[in-house]
Amino acid sequence: MPVYQQFVKQILNPLDLWRSGDYAEIRYLKEFERTQFLPPDELRELVWQRLHHIIDTAYRRIPYYKSVFDRAGLVPSDIKTDTDMLSVQILEKRDVQANLQTMLDPEFPKNRLIFDKTGGSTGTPVNYYYSIERKWARQAAMLRHDRWAGYDVGQRFASLWGAARDMPAPSWKQKIKSLIFPKTLQLNSIRMTPELMLEFNKQLKRYRPPVILAYANALALFAAFLKQQGVSVYRPKGIITSAEVLTPEDRKLIEETFGAPVFNRLGCREFSVIASECEHHNGMHLMAEGLYIELIRGSRLAETDETGEIIVTDLLNEAMPMIRYRLGDTASWVAGTCSCGRSLPRINNVAGRVTDFIVGMDNRLCSGVALATFIVSKRPSFGQIQIIQEEYGKILYRVGCGQNKPLQQHDLEFLREQTELYLGKGITIDYEYVDSIPHEASGKFIFSKSTVARKIFQ
Ligand SMILES: [Zn+2]
């Protein structure tokens, strides 16, 4: 590692974290770097200690869970095995929406709480809180998993991700920080025209980031475009894909085009990184020290090689415990141990959100995940939304409104204004109201579907 990178990693970054009160992130990183290689029995013991602790805390301190356990006639000491967990009621996204205040520890210091909300692409937007401790653990977990792909603190980094149009101008503190720390090169997947994609390639060649993080679908489209153009392409050391389902065809296309291995990742806003690939690319290792993961089929646990719904219990968020949260994605277990030596269990065949690009008025391509993040999640009152595009210049918002009233006038105005901002003026918008938008039989939720975008690079 070059001297300046070492200086940033060993001196400047710890100083900056200490100054901002986030030094505990380094403590968590050291812990996670060690625990990933624990013998399987010891790792399991650690996970179960944390699981008992969070269940016990939830039962004693959180009104919502006291009532969930009481209704089921359970006490925390009844939970001794994976199978026992099945008797605890599943936490649906709508339960979190309806019980936000009673799920929060009433005595948790407000100045140590972080508020956040999910994007709209997984079905139902959710508001939630986590503790500042959890923030440090999340950041450390992310860094550990980034390091598997070849990234380290002090290195340059690029992301092909959605960036909001209304991002505030950087403060003077951020400007000074950007002079010291390598900046992230942000390539905005919210608007991908042929000219901009050629520019992205040039920027990557100039900046030379060792690792690129990208929406799986956005990077596949970028790869298909570069291949079609026949231009020379920047080759990083590693690529992290996330936020969308990565198909085997897209993985092959990305790896061939960029000449680098893809490290696929499952993450979400509620829990940050859930699982990601190591250098052996044989399934994704769970972030097991922070999350207890179940794969279930109805009322039983999935067998190895059987697809199950992913149920997540956050082991480290005492402020607002999330116990048995239905993520909305499916996966299967990978048997055996990984050659990398990490004992973190592995999952595979993840099926989650499916998002197509939507074609805007000047043939710009706009990532579905980005649309979900910057339009739908701004208004949790929207509930479920799906975007369908079957012809150029026109889109259909399908709204799953259940018992709620269809969109109000101010919602329609907001949608029109935001849609024109991202897709261009003059686009025709239609609406269709349905009771609910079901997940596909495979467990996938299709947020955006465009038959127009698929034709562009065929
Ligand atoms: Zn491994």
pLDDT score of 114: 93
**CB distance 85 to 294 below 8 Å:** yes
CB 448 within 8 A of CB 372: yes
CATH number attached to the domain at 1-288: 3.40.50.12780
- What's the pLDDT tens digit per position in 367-404? 887 777 777 766 666 777 889 999 999 999 988 876 66
Regions of the chain where pLDDT drops below 50: 166
Distance (angstroms) between ligand 1 centre and the Cα of 309 equals 22
- For ligand 1, the distance from its centroid to the CA atom of residue 281, given in whole angstroms, is 7
CA of 315 to the centre of ligand 1 (A): 22
Q: Cα of 140 to ligand 1 centre, how many Å?
A: 18
Ligand 1 centre to CA of 169 (Å) is 40
Q: Where are the domains of the chain?
A: 1-288, 354-456
pLDDT score, position 166: 47
How remote is the CA of residue 259 from the centroid of ligand 1, in Å?
21
- The CATH number, out of the four listed (3.30.300.30, 3.40.190.10, 3.40.50.300, 3.40.50.10330), of the domain defined by the range 354-456: 3.30.300.30
Cα 149 to averaged position of ligand 1 atoms, centre (Å): 12
Using the mean position of ligand 1's atoms as its centre, give its distance from the Cα of residue 325 in Å: 26
Q: 252 CA to middle of ligand 1, Å?
A: 20
